[in-house]
Amino acid sequence: MSQHGEAQLPAVLLLLLVLAVSWVLWSGLYKPLLLGLGVFSCLLSVYMALRMGFFRNQAMMSLLPRLPGYWWWLLREIARSSVEVARIILKPSMPISPTLVELASQADSEAGQVILGNSITLSPGTVTLDLHEGKLLVHCLTRDTARELQAGEVSRRAAALERN
């Protein structure tokens, strides 16, 4: 926690500006009370981001431009696995075969690993149970989804996000 002093001032001010602009645009009301609340919540958010070490981690910023493409791919994955899970739930025989998979993350940064873990949880049929030192423990609804996960496409794409 001693690195607080090293936080870059420009980055802090940029975040403050972005927050303030989005508050003003999205509220659309310019009463003193609401503006005061806006100032309060912007400052609080920046303080919390500071405490969480947001500014020490520059990797976050550099992967932002590549996110939309990743999201698009993830969206199609989610749609596909949703249909799969819905079909399993509605089938009278309910053919589930719960499987645990241990997955080594190919992403090195914390941000990349969190994106990988959350992407896995986001797609129905797979849930990240534990993420520790680059190793993910994933619970899968069926053996097929487990096999697909081990083929490693999610992991590869999440790792590709942080390549420079």
Partner 1 sequence: MIDVVLDVISWVLLALGGACVLIGGIGGLRLPNFYTRIHAASLTDTMATLLIFTGMMLQSGFSLPTMKLFAIMLFLLLTGPTATYALANAALLSGMKPDSGVERDRGASGGVQ
Would you tell me which residues interact with partner 1 (CB under 8 A)?
26, 28, 75, 78-79, 82, 85-86, 89-90, 94, 96-98, 100, 117-119, 121-131, 137, 139, 141
Which C-beta is closer to partner 1: that of 38 or that of 124? 124
**Strand-pair partners of 126:** 140
Which C-beta is closer to partner 1: that of 107 or that of 131? 131
Which C-beta is closer to partner 1: that of 34 or that of 137? 137
Q: Which residues contact 6 (CB under 8 A, 6 or more apart)?
A: 56
Q: What are phi and psi of 129, to 5 degrees?
A: -95, -35
Q: Which residues contact 98 (CB under 8 A, 6 or more apart)?
A: 139, 140, 141, 142
Q: Minimum CB separation from partner 1 for residue 68, in Å?
A: 12
Q: Minimum CB separation from partner 1 for residue 85, in Å?
A: 5
Q: Minimum CB separation from partner 1 for residue 42, in Å?
A: 16
Cβ–Cβ under 8 Å, residues 5 and 55: no
71-78 own/partner pairs: CB under 8 Å, 24+ apart? 73/157, 74/119, 74/122, 74/123, 77/123, 77/154, 78/122, 78/123, 78/124
Which C-beta is closer to partner 1: that of 36 or that of 98? 98
Q: Minimum CB separation from partner 1 for residue 152, in Å?
A: 19
